[in-house]
Structure 1
């Protein structure tokens, strides 16, 4: 089981909201209304770890190890929402999300292949790490800069944990499951490493997850300002092609190691994916 080791390693570096955040360094002159509002939107978005956890537990009922790890992931992700809410409570109380605003992002996600979802969230954690690092650079107020740096480190650790479960899927579940895992990881990898080609940000909170609610079936569509994410990325934190390239490079680097291949570009990964498809297709 991976859960006991992951619990121990994450417990060792867990930060304390009361003592590890430099609350006394707050400088109100360095926080604009525009910046404060984006904190509210991120606080609500992070609250969506709740329905994501419900999805993971439902779709991984045959995997108690991974389901147990969800207790760690869920705690730390909800803590991200909580620390952003606490920041607003202290310094911009008029922007604290209401319970209704938070609850709105809790809706049911359609079932999906567990290995594809695992890969999707692995890529999502990598992207969040880079988004929050860029947000920390964009903000000018010291406390929120420290908060974004702190949660960015958490997201990187979460990506590492998901990677451990991806490695386990390749190594411990037999040839058939291993082949399915390679297919799932390469398929989602091509999608998530190609964000520069898509009109919207590729992250689990911005993807459609409930056919019956379409098109209002993304986490972002449930926010008070549904279009805020693109504005935040493009016009505020300026998450440009160079930063998106860093995300793509990290995904390709990790998949190269995971799949024992060399993926310098998305095209390389897509060729690998197509070769797997040919291997599994019945001869005509």
Structure 2
């Protein structure tokens, strides 16, 4: 189909799709291994996953020029909402008093300001990598077998989503060259520098609506806006070892994408500066009437 990625990505994601009834071992639930504290973290993650709804609205709005990518978002949206659903189903079966209300879910549906599509693509690529590691860490923290299986299952989905985004990033580089390189490197430097920031760097924790500031992050609209840091730092213990795994995956994938090895964020930042310099030089050449080679 004229080089479109959506048909192939649909087929590959469909081939490994898990079934909520058949692939989650509901009958192995052990009530002694699920506390109210743990159930609350499942609730918060269910609400956070529901934020794929406003993210999808953003993707479709900002990618009206790209029907191939917009079609892929139909699969991404379906699978992300399924993550929210399976977490809620877990609570419905075993801790019904913790099931999110419709109002709590709807609170995270709010408009995101328009943003550069390539930077948003890279942001979500890094977000999938980070979420894959958060969920794997959460699976290690939990001892109750059903929720362990759920987190391991949805973490694999997040990894596959990251791989799909990477395909679109490769296509963007073919189409726009240094414009894409500069955008991807810029966000890569930001997202691989989480240890230098106070808050966890993930799309759900970034400000996205100036008029609604400071209540314009997904996390700020949860029943407990401070939940994410508490979950990461005090509960699942997403420590520097885990964080380093995230950084290494981002740098590894960008090394493959840019066909140049990056061992550190600093090396990636130098690459970003060179891409920006080339763009500036090309812009000056065009202004002077010289067409870039």
Q: TM-score, normalised by structure 1?
A: 0.97
How far apart are the structure 2 equivalents of 1:276 and 1:70? 29
The answer on 1:281 being equivalent to 2:280 is yes
RMSD, aligned CA = 1.0
The answer on 1:99 being equivalent to 2:98 is no
1:260 CA drift (Å): 1.2
Contact 2:50-2:105 at 8 Å conserved across structures: yes
Which residue in the other structure is 2:6 paired with?
A: 3
The answer on 1:67 being equivalent to 2:70 is yes
1:108 CA drift (Å): 0.2
1:279 CA drift (Å): 2.0
Contact 2:179-2:279 at 8 Å conserved across structures: no
Offset from partner CA, 1:169-194 (integer Å, 9 cap, x none) = 112x2xxx221100100000000001
Offset from partner CA, 1:103-143 (integer Å, 9 cap, x none) = 00000000000000000000000000000000000001000
Residues 164-243 of structure 1 aligned to structure 2 (within 5 Å): 164-171=167-174, 173=175, 177-243=176-242
Q: Give structure 2 stretches of 5+ with no counterpart.
A: 285-293
The answer on 1:13 being equivalent to 2:16 is yes
Choose the corresponding residue for 1:149, options 148, 152, 160: 152
1:281 CA drift (Å): 2.5
How far apart are the structure 2 equivalents of 1:8 and 1:271? 38
Q: Give structure 1 stretches of 5+ with no counterpart.
A: none
Choose the corresponding residue for 1:89, options 85, 92, 102: 92
Tell which structure's C-alpha radius of gyration is larger: 2
How far apart are the structure 1 equivalents of 2:198 and 2:221? 19
Which residue in the other structure is 1:270 paired with?
A: 269
The answer on 1:110 being equivalent to 2:113 is yes
Q: When the two structures are aligned, how many residues end up with a matched partner?
A: 280
Which residue in the other structure is 1:252 paired with?
A: 251
1:228 CA drift (Å): 0.3
Task: State the SS of the aligned residue for 1:278.
Answer: helix
Which residue in the other structure is 2:287 paired with?
A: none
How far apart are the structure 1 equivalents of 2:78 and 2:273? 38
Task: State the SS of the aligned residue for 2:59.
Answer: helix
Q: TM-score, normalised by structure 2?
A: 0.94
Offset from partner CA, 1:67-114 (integer Å, 9 cap, x none) = 000110000000000000000000000000000000000000000000
